[in-house]
């Protein structure tokens, strides 16, 4: 279908499809490779990588504007809009509240940089970049494990962490690296070797998740592995059922064999059960369980978030210092304790989904969540599943990063650090570029076939 001519990819119908400098693309691939390698072990590494990629990509776009923006299909513009929505949603919410806080715009602004990378990559052979990302994720996983083994003093007491990443964020994005490595693993060699490598990577991720003690990551791991089982045997319902049964057995074995998992899962269950079945009229013992278990505190924080959303549904509440006094909140939420109120002031929401709605209001917050999670899942899993689930597809790697981060976002804030939204936004940009190329290539082929007929 395509052959190389100089620095242009030309279709065999004579129409230029891609145009780029090979040196620039190789440089981008190198930066993308090293980005996940040191993502969670070297401070500011991803932020620097994103800015560097932006600088590499922005000049070709400015110098050849029409090449990147003319004759683009509808899907290109939808994907580009999807990437910039988080920034403009935050900006609109701040304007609506009558305040502009630069620090709050800093994180979402990384999506603008990622959008620039998307525009450039949508016109070059992005498969090299995706393979570099996958390989970098493999070394990133190994690097995290080595860091934990070599620098145990960086632990938060008994919970795994690096010198700048906490025990909650670390396993969450470790699973993002695992997803990229699993769904995109293209190691050449015998099937047994490939299987051994994947099992080793899963073992490394499980080790990191257990050492961190993060129950959110355990849920995310279960979701990621379930998605991978369904994808791996997508052409056989029988093997999917067998695979899911095997996964459940493995998860139950981890629960029984790991003291950390066993105790923390049981503690969470006690908090949830006390909250759900006894409600506001629970006795003192049940209140104690809810107030002093992480799951119980998260549920109470969720109630606080819902109360705040009801109070400011249009543009949200911009800052944790804008919280109503404890007395006002406790009158609306009788179960609320001063300890949970202090957690809310110091740490904010314990759910990315609720945090966006609290900060930006229902309209802008929903737009942000759709652009970050729901629409990407829709296009990769439903709208263009023929690309995602075809043999050898590189688009499927998007599921490896979206699913664990989305699952984690239910119970933690996944974008409270600028480096995390930088990493996620750049991954989205890369996979959006791949999807855009597939769509435009298919559209071009159909147009040419129609003209021949």
For 229-264, the pLDDT digits (tens) are 999 999 999 999 999 999 999 999 999 999 999 999
Q: What angle do CA 31, 426, 121 make, to 5 degrees?
A: 75
Euclidean distance between CA atoms 6 and 8, whole angstroms: 6
For 157-182, what is the mean pLDDT? 96
Query: CB–CB of 329/307 below 8 Å?
Result: yes
Residue 44: per-residue pLDDT:
94
Which DSSP symbol is given to 104?
A: H
3-state secondary structure of 4: strand
**Residue 91 pLDDT greater than 90, yes or no:** yes
pLDDT for 99? 86
Residues 362, 368, 372, 376, CA torsion sign: positive
Angle at 428 between CA 422 and CA 432, to 5 degrees: 145
Cβ–Cβ under 8 Å, residues 187 and 194 = yes
- Would the pLDDT of 143 be above 90? yes
Tokens in use for 106?
A: 């800093």
- Place 14 in a pLDDT band, splitting at 50, 70 and 90: very low
> What pLDDT band is residue 188 in, cutting at 50, 70 and 90?
low
Q: What is the mean pLDDT of the chain?
A: 89
Checking 440-448 for CB contacts under 8 A at 24+ apart, the result is 440/72, 440/73, 440/75, 440/76, 441/17, 443/73, 444/11, 444/15, 444/17, 445/1, 448/13
Res 7 pLDDT > 60: no
Tokens of 291: 């107030």
List CB contacts of 271: < 8 A, sequence separation 6 or more: 289, 290, 293, 294, 295, 296, 297, 299
Lowest mean pLDDT among 115-124, 209-218, 388-397: 388-397
Q: Spell out the domain ranges in the chain.
A: 18-261+350-452
pLDDT (average), residues 172-181: 97
- Checking if the pLDDT of 34 tops 50, the result is yes
Mean local confidence (pLDDT), 166-175? 97
Least confident of 116-120, 135-139, 276-280, 311-315: 276-280
**Cα maximum dimension of the chain:** 78
Determine the distance from the C-alpha atom of residue 157 to the mean position of all C-alpha atoms in its chain, rounded to a whole number.
27
How many C-beta atoms surround the C-beta of residue 412 within 10 A?
Answer: 23
Over the stretch 376-400, which tens digit does the pLDDT of each residue have?
A: 999 999 999 999 999 888 999 999 9
**Distances 222 to 190, 227, 228, 390, 400 between C-alpha atoms, Å:** 27, 9, 10, 24, 13
The encoded tokens of residue 292 equal 């002093």
**Backbone φ, ψ for residue 342 (5° rounding):** -65, -40
Query: pTM for this structure?
Result: 0.91
Segment 9-32 shows an average pLDDT of 62
The DSSP secondary structure of 295-353, one letter per residue, reads HHHHHHHHHHHHHHHHHSTTT----GGGPPPHHHHHHH-TT--HHHHHHHHHH--S-HH
Whole-number pLDDT of residue 8 = 36
**Chain centre distance of CA 389:** 20
Q: Is the pLDDT of residue 1 over 70?
A: no
For range 128-132, the mean pLDDT: 95
Mean pLDDT of 192-221: 94
Please report which helix (H) or strand (E) contains residue 385, including its range: helix 385-388
Considering only 36-45, 71-80, 267-276, which range has the smallest mean pLDDT? 267-276
Q: 359 or 11: whose pLDDT is higher?
A: 359
DSSP letter at 38 equals S
Q: How many CB atoms lie within 10 A of CB 410?
A: 17
Q: Is the pLDDT of residue 170 over 50?
A: yes
Stronger pLDDT, 278 or 262, i.e. the higher one:
262
Q: Which pLDDT band, with edges at 50, 70 and 90, does 12 fall under? A: very low
Cβ distance 108 to 101 under 8 Å?
no
pLDDT at 294 over 90: no
User: Residue 176's Cα: distance from chain center in Å?
Assistant: 7
Asked if the model's pLDDT at residue 372 lies above 70, the reply is yes
Q: Kindly indicate the confidence band of residue 410, based on its pLDDT and cuts at 50, 70 and 90.
A: very high
């Amino acid at each position: 279908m395509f052959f190389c001519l100089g620095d242009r990819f030309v279709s065999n119908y004579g129409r230029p499809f891609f145009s780029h400098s090979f040196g620039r693309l190789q440089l981008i691939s190198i930066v993308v490779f090293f980005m996940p390698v040191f993502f969670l072990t070297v401070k500011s590494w991803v932020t620097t990588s994103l800015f560097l990629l932006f600088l590499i990509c922005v000049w070709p776009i400015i110098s050849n504007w029409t090449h990147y923006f003319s004759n683009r299909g509808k899907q290109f513009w939808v994907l580009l809009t999807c990437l910039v929505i988080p920034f403009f949603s935050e900006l609109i919410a701040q304007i609506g509240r009558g305040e502009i806080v630069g620090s709050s715009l800093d994180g979402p602004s990384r999506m603008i940089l990622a959008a620039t990378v998307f525009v450039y990559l949508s016109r070059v052979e992005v498969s090299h970049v995706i393979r570099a990302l996958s390989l970098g994720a493999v070394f990133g996983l190994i690097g995290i494990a080595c860091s934990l083994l070599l620098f145990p003093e960086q632990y938060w007491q008994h919970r795994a962490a690096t010198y700048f990443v906490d025990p909650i964020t670390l396993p969450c994005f470790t699973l993002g690296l695992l997803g990229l490595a699993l769904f995109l693993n293209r190691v050449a060699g015998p099937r047994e070797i490939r299987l051994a490598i994947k099992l080793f990577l899963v073992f490394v991720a499980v080790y990191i998740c257990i050492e961190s003690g993060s129950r959110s990551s355990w849920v995310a791991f279960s979701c990621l592995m379930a998605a991978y089982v369904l994808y791996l045997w997508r052409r056989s319902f029988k093997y999917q059922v067998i695979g899911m049964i095997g996964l459940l057995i493995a998860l139950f074995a981890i629960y029984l064999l790991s003291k950390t998992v066993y105790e923390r899962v049981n503690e969470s269950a006690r908090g949830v059960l006390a909250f759900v079945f006894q409600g506001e009229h629970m006795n003192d013992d049940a209140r104690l369980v809810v107030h002093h278990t992480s799951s119980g505190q998260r549920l109470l924080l969720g109630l606080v978030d819902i109360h705040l959303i009801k109070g400011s549904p249009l543009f949200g509440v911009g800052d944790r210092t804008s919280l109503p006094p404890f007395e006002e909140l406790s009158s609306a939420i009788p179960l609320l304790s001063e300890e949970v109120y202090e957690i809310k002031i110091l740490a904010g929401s314990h759910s990315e989904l609720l945090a966006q709605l609290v900060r930006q209001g229902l309209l802008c917050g929903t737009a942000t969540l759709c652009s970050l999670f729901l629409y990407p899942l829709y296009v990769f899993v439903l709208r263009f599943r023929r690309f995602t689930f075809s043999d050898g597809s590189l688009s499927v790697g998007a599921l490896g990063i979206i699913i664990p981060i989305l699952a984690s976002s239910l119970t933690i804030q996944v974008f409270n650090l600028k480096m995390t939204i930088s990493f996620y936004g750049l991954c989205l940009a890369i996979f959006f570029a791949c999807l855009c190329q597939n769509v435009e290539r298919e559209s071009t082929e159909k147009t040419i076939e129609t003209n021949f007929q």
